[in-house]
Chain A
Amino acid sequence: MSKIIASAAIRGAHKIVERVENKIKEAIDQYGPDKEVAYPNTAYYLPIIYGILGRKVEKLGDMPPIIEYCKQLLPEVPAEDLWIPYLGPALDAGMATLFAYDMEEALKYVDPDKCPYLPGGTEWIDPASDNIWLGAADDVIMRKRGVEFVDGSAPGFAAVVGAPPDVETAVKLAKEMQEKYLYVFMASDHNGVNMAEQLKEAGVQLGWDTRLVPFGKDTSAAIHALGFATRAAMSFGGAKPGDYRKVLLYNKNRIFAFVLALGTVTDEWYAAAAGAINYGFPTIADSDIPEILPYGVCTYEHVVSNVPHDKIVSKAIEVRGLKIVIKKVDVPVSYGPAFEGERIGKDAMRIEMGGPKAPAFEFCEMKDLDEIEDNKIEVIGKEIDEYERGVTIPFAIWVQVAGRKFQKDFEPIIERQFHHLINQAEGVLHIGQRDILWMRISDKAYEAGFKFKHIGQILHDKLHQEFGAIIDKVQVKIYTEEEKVKELLEKARAVYHERDNRLAGMKDEEVDTFYSCTLCQSFAPNHVCVITPERPGLCGAYNMLDCKAAYEINPTGPNQPLPKGEVVDPVKGRWEKIDEFIYTASHNAVEYACAYSIMDNPMTSCGCFEAIAVVLPMCNAIMVVDRDYTGDTPCGMRFSTLAGTVGGGIQTPGFVGISKLYILSKKFISAEGGLKRLAWLPKALKEFLVENGLQKRCEEEGVPDLVDKIATEEDCTTEEELYEWMQKVGHPALEMEPLM
């Protein structure tokens, strides 16, 4: 921790504790030690002292022992030439400050006639009233507002101390925070002005209902923000009074609050900021003060300074790790799943983007948090209203996302969402992905005011809504100039290619964690998919990266990380921890499964498999049939009959449900010899595999002419015929070890 900050905080704390001690003495002299002291209408006494120390302050006489405790907490101000770790002492000084402030504020309530605050329980501040200061919130307000913090309708609060340089900035800051559903708690002053006063001057409605809450003009009034937080931890977090650890952790983990220091940072502010750090609330300052950047008590940085006013809210949100709440997609047309399947014919079309007639693509790219600005949407080139009706134009949707938990691997997963996100807008058609993008916007949507920029708005709003767990910022650029689209398309294509290679390059042996998928247990109760880099889910919809992203987004969902543990059988694909997981997650129905075998306890299937691999005993080979092929197969059963045999979470040696692309994996039934066993495929599936690199895989297996040796329904549809075919073409499976 910066020594300058620590020294300042400790100095400030000494000053505050001394001042409050004197005030308590004066009060006791005036009213006697038995005089009651309390905040209005609360069961939590002086909440910080009660929550952290478990001690009840009910009368003035209860205060001096607390002051003694504060003094014990107060460390010495570090000497000029002393260099030791400062964080601990500074945090202690911060805590002492908070206790002292709690008492200083409570003293204001001792004489109701002199109390500077509006009556307890005031939620709405009359614009005509000179007094705008609310002081401590009572328990009714705390409960009502606390619910919003728990259910997420308010993500947190900003404790603003001081004031920005002018009224205009104050209004802008307040509006920006309101738009993010944050509560703004205001206290203290900078050059004699508090932000709440600036807002009042500008005619902004203050009070709990507008979430702009002026606590008081003294710095000590900032304590009401932490008092609120402490009570919330006791009321909603089940923390018992005195369980300081739980109180502080609840706030760190649940209440996304931060301190905005606007103006000259005094020693007192430093001391209070140190107190807030105990709660995990970082400080963001507009002035140039030393920073505390390493992570530790707070989730990320502790003190970030010299942030310009137009960036300060987004910086605070980023530093506190706060998630933005978006309630409604901000576009001029209706938006929802009902419009997803809508088609736009030529007659109803205002404009067409991409498709067969023009280049178009969409692209998602990860950026650093500092590199992009959230909700910045640019259209580079002409907007929709600058085109004639009915034209086809080049188009590029370039989306940049950033997030503390975002990983490069998630780019394609997010990009794949664009299709259904954009399609949900009424009057907008989206087909294809990557560089085969094809879009249309209807006349009706155009007349309603839909513009290209709204495509960016949809993506911004929905990505925050659905992927807020991993995405903190979304910036969108839309290009309509042919030159630029073509230029960027080349860049995008290079990345598409790189992505395909990266996934293809991942090996089961190189990772120590696989992922589970129990999504289908709703109808196949004992089925468990174990998804590895080289064995995608049998439905074809989930590969390892999808699972990883799904887990980050929904940590309690059906995709969970599975550490492999010790290898039990490297050939058949068994691992200690995976065996255990399968046993438990299948409700003890499946003892273990071999990831790479079709003969020994093969993996179970739910019913969603894209294809089924089947052993053909006479041929010493296997065949694969996919869902789209409805004709006869050499095993004597059609797909539908086979599906009944394989599905439902049971293990049937000789049969296994798989995804189509798994056939091209090096781990495709590798326990029984892999691809070389493959003797029959439906023609369409074979063509699909050839397009996806079957030839290359055959070469890797050492049988370059295998593609031609795999029969299709055009060659044979019975096992006898297939056996003859295999002999005729010299299929390698005939020479392999017997399967059974």
Chain B
Amino acid sequence: MAFAIPKENYAGKVREIVIGKGDKAVKIGGYDSMPLCTFEGTWPNKPVVAMEVYDVAPELNAQGWPPATFEAFKDVINDPGAWAKKCLEYGADLICVQLAGTDPNAQNKSAEEAIEVVKKVKEAVGDIPLIIWGSNNLEKDQEVLPAIMEAFPNENWLFGPAEEGNYKKITASAIGYGHLVAGKSSIDVNLAKQLNILIENLGLSLDKVVMDPTTASLGYGIEYTYSVMERISLAALAQNDDKMQNPFINDLAKEAWKTREAMLTVEEEPTYGEQNTRGILMESITAIDLIAAGSSILIMRNPTAVKVIKELINELYS
């Protein structure tokens, strides 16, 4: 008797979400099987890679910027526009503008300065959709993100993270100015669902919402991220819970590159082996794990890691 693969039939389907507009718009989601299990359903849209552009130029060997990553951007590191273009050359599907510099505990850049950065990036990349990511400071993000939405109305960009403490301002502006929201909750299925409900109650259609269940790096708790993403996916697909049927975004580069494994030099830790490869592997394997967990948007940093991941995605979802 021929072998038949046992198949699970899922009742639910994840929403298809469109970021940006026109020819260059990026579609994610729309799948009705668990990740990689394409024999049980379809993933019409492959996971995509958003590459980071920072509002404030990082310095060599500052946290998260060992040579492997810094060197790839050193010519463009002071120019967000050129940096974004470089990302497109490296194969980015979209650009993620990281506004880490707006954090009051960092350079405390103003909303106006953030708007300038976004403007430069937009001018450089044209219609490529943008993801605008705040500094994870609740207060500051709810000031900066709405200001950018107002400055660039109806671009249909993705803004995040919106958390329970600041989702109201961010969501209300997204409704008013025509953008999408990435809701971030802390590693908990019910909190993720609750945030989706709250965002929807405010009036934003769930067709405009992406979920960030909190991303951890390989070796630093990725199993928790994996587990919560798996459970959300099962709720969305197996239980057909329509408040959970939204694709994931994972802000992973920051996590992978700040690890000891990425940052320590060979001199500091001879047993770890060559530093550049090590960092790239940290980011790549974190990304692979998140693809297996069902990620739809991977926010990444290093061009080599991006190349590896793009090839992998193409093979897995061809």
Contacts and interface: CB of A to CB of B under 8 A. Distances in A.
Interface of A: 143-144, 146-148, 150-153, 235-238, 254, 518, 521-522, 525, 556-558, 584, 587-588
B104 interface: no
Contacts of B187: 522
A522 B203 contact: no
A336 to B, nearest CB: 14
8 contacts: A143-B153, A143-B177, A144-B150, A147-B169, A150-B175, A151-B173, A584-B239, A587-B234
Contacts of B171: 150-151
A237 B177 contact: no
Given A150-B202, A151-B168, A151-B202, A587 B235 contact: yes
B78 interface: no
Contact of A152 (B168, B188, B191, B194): B168
Q: Which 6 residue pairs across A and B have the least CB separation, nearest first?
A: A150-B172, A151-B172, A151-B168, A522-B188, A147-B172, A151-B169
A522 B176 contact: no
Interface of B: 146, 150, 153, 168-169, 171-173, 175-177, 187-191, 194, 197-198, 201-203, 205, 231, 234-235, 239
Nearest to B194: A556
Nearest to B146: A147
A444 B16 CA distance: 58
B183 to A, nearest CB: 13
Contacts of B202: 150-151
A235 B194 contact: no
Contacts of B194: 556-557
Contact of B191 (A144, A236, A522): A522
B196 to A, nearest CB: 10
Nearest to B205: A238
A595 B237 CA distance: 30
Contacts of B239: 584, 587-588
Contacts of B234: 587
Given A146-B176, A254-B203, 6 more contacts: A143-B153, A148-B172, A150-B171, A150-B175, A151-B169, A152-B168
A735 B105 CA distance: 70
A404 to B, nearest CB: 20
Contacts of A147: 146, 169, 172-173, 175-176
A525 B235 CA distance: 12
A235 B198 contact: no
A588 B238 CA distance: 10
B257 to A, nearest CB: 28
Contact of A525 (B189, B201, B203): B189
Contacts of A146: 172, 176
Contacts of B197: 556
Contacts of A236: 172, 175-176, 203
A589 to B, nearest CB: 11
B169 A521 contact: no
A558 B188 CA distance: 12
Nearest to B196: A556
A361 B230 CA distance: 50
Contacts of B190: 518, 521-522, 558
Contacts of B189: 521-522, 525
B159 to A, nearest CB: 13
A237 B171 CA distance: 12
Contacts of A556: 194, 197-198, 201
A551 B148 CA distance: 36
Contacts of B191: 522
B240 to A, nearest CB: 11
Contacts of B205: 238
B65 to A, nearest CB: 33
Nearest to A143: B176
A525 B224 CA distance: 12
Contact of B203 (A153, A237, A558): A237
Contacts of A587: 231, 234-235, 239
A587 B232 CA distance: 11
Most chain A CB within 10 A, of B175, B177, B202, is at B175
Nearest to B243: A556
A715 B188 CA distance: 45
Contacts of A254: 203
B139 to A, nearest CB: 12
A238 B198 contact: no
A150 B231 contact: no
Given A521-B189, A557-B194, A150 B201 contact: no
Nearest to A153: B169
Contacts of B198: 556
A727 B188 CA distance: 50
B211 to A, nearest CB: 16
Contacts of A238: 203, 205
A274 B234 CA distance: 51
Nearest to A237: B203
Nearest to B227: A525
Contacts of B176: 143-144, 146-147, 150, 235-236
A146 B201 CA distance: 16
A235 B175 CA distance: 8
Most chain A CB within 10 A, of B153, B173, B197, is at B173
A584 B188 CA distance: 17
Nearest to A232: B176
A518 B189 CA distance: 11
Contacts of A588: 239
B20 to A, nearest CB: 20
A241 B80 CA distance: 41
A676 to B, nearest CB: 39
Nearest to A522: B188
A148 B150 CA distance: 13
A147 B197 CA distance: 19
Given A143-B176, A238-B203, A525 B169 contact: no
B57 to A, nearest CB: 32
Contacts of B201: 556
A153 B190 CA distance: 27
A147 B178 CA distance: 12
Nearest to A148: B172
A553 to B, nearest CB: 14
Nearest to A142: B176
A237 B205 CA distance: 10
A655 B169 CA distance: 47
A146 B189 CA distance: 32
A150 B172 CA distance: 5
Nearest to A558: B190
A256 to B, nearest CB: 15
A236 B175 CA distance: 6
Nearest to B175: A236
A522 B239 CA distance: 18
A254 to B, nearest CB: 8
A587 to B, nearest CB: 7
B214 to A, nearest CB: 12
A153 B173 CA distance: 12
Nearest to A152: B168
Contacts of A237: 203
Contacts of B175: 147, 150, 235-236
Nearest to B231: A525
Contacts of B168: 150-152
Nearest to B187: A522
A144 B149 CA distance: 11
A75 to B, nearest CB: 35
A587 B227 CA distance: 14
Contacts of B231: 525, 587
A588 B177 CA distance: 41
B245 to A, nearest CB: 16
Given A522-B191, A525-B189, A150 B203 contact: yes
A238 B188 CA distance: 30
Nearest to A145: B176
A332 to B, nearest CB: 23
A527 to B, nearest CB: 11
A218 to B, nearest CB: 29
Contacts of A153: 169
